[in-house]
Amino acid sequence: MTIFSADLDTLFQEYPFYERFKQAKENGFNFVEFTYNESLDLQKLGDACAYKGLKISLVTISENLTHLAFENKKKFMKEFDAFVEIADFIECKNIYIPGISLKDDEFEEKCEVYIQSLKYAGSIAKKYGIKILISFKNGLENLGYYPSSTLDVLSLLDELDDDRQFAYLYDIYQAQTIEGGISNTLETFLKIIGHIRIAGVPLREEPDSGELDYRYILSLLESHSYQAKVGCSYFPRGKTIDGLKWMKRYV
């Protein structure tokens, strides 16, 4: 059975941030994911995350911390130490450390800092039983972004050399936009995929339209006994709740 996670960065935008957790739970989600922001009130966040048994599938580090991961390992280490305690506080077992857009003349230097930051994050997160996720965004919509392909992610995972501590966050919308081959990638690399995100292509709306057959993709995951979560990371055509009709056939 597919276990869906509501991406609160895209779903339930009609509601204030803390209210989105309640709305997700009340509308069929037992898991949510979101990007952390340093301005969040930890007490309110803790209460929201625990609403009626809700679980956190993953948390994306803040934009500020993401840039530090590429620019200043020492500062990143200090900030990440505090962040991982927050992730542990809300009982989150997956932390996503995204990439950024880079200029050609800074690419090599900042990528090396990124790798060292990832290694440090992995060593600290491991103490809490938390896994680090890596993904990519397509270069068509995110000029100069790194990582920008499955190949980039695989190269990073090879460099990090710890499949138990690091995993691939496979965003199907990003992958279909730039490289395709979704079924082949899933069947080939499912063992290193720790989270999947879905959205309709090309408009990144509900996954009931567009060029991908998600009925087939989700059945493929079930046939391979995929155990991790499937993040609903799309922008609804209208109200989020009205657009959730597509999910009823799977839950």
In the structure encoding, which two tokens stand for residue 80, read together?
């990440």
pLDDT at 1 exceeding the cut of 90: no
% residues pLDDT > 70 (the chain): 100
Measured torsion, CA atoms of residues 163, 164, 166, 167, in degrees rounded to the nearest 10: 70
Q: Using 50, 70 and 90 to split pLDDT, how confident is the model at 250?
A: confident
What one-letter code names the amino acid at 230?
V
Residue 166 scores a pLDDT above 90: yes
Mean pLDDT, rounded, for 166-170: 98
CATH number of 4-249: 3.20.20.150
Residue 251 has pLDDT above 80, yes or no: no
pLDDT in tens, 134-165: 999 999 999 999 999 999 999 999 999 999 99
Contacts of residue 185, defined as CB under 8 A and 6 or more positions apart, other chains included, come to 150, 170, 175
pTM given for the model: 0.97
Mean pLDDT, the chain, whole residue set: 97
Intra-chain end-to-end CA distance of the chain, in Å: 8
Residues 192, 173: Cα–Cα separation, whole Å: 18
Alpha-carbon gap, residue 157 to 225, rounded angstroms: 23
* 12-61 residue pLDDT tens: 999 999 999 999 999 999 999 999 999 999 999 999 999 999 999 999 99
Amino acid at 160: L
Token representation of residue 224: 């391979």
Contact indicator for 131, 165 with CB cutoff of 8 Å: yes
Listed in sequence order, the DSSP H helices in 8-149 are: 17-26, 42-49, 63-71, 73-89, 107-126
Rounded CA-CA distance 190/185 in Å is 8
Residues 97-134 pLDDT 10s: 999 999 999 999 999 999 999 999 999 999 999 999 99
Summarize the confidence of residues 244-248 as an average pLDDT.
Answer: 94
The pLDDT assigned to 205 comes to 98
Q: Are 189 and 221 in contact (CB under 8 A)?
A: no
Look-up of token digits 């929201």: 48
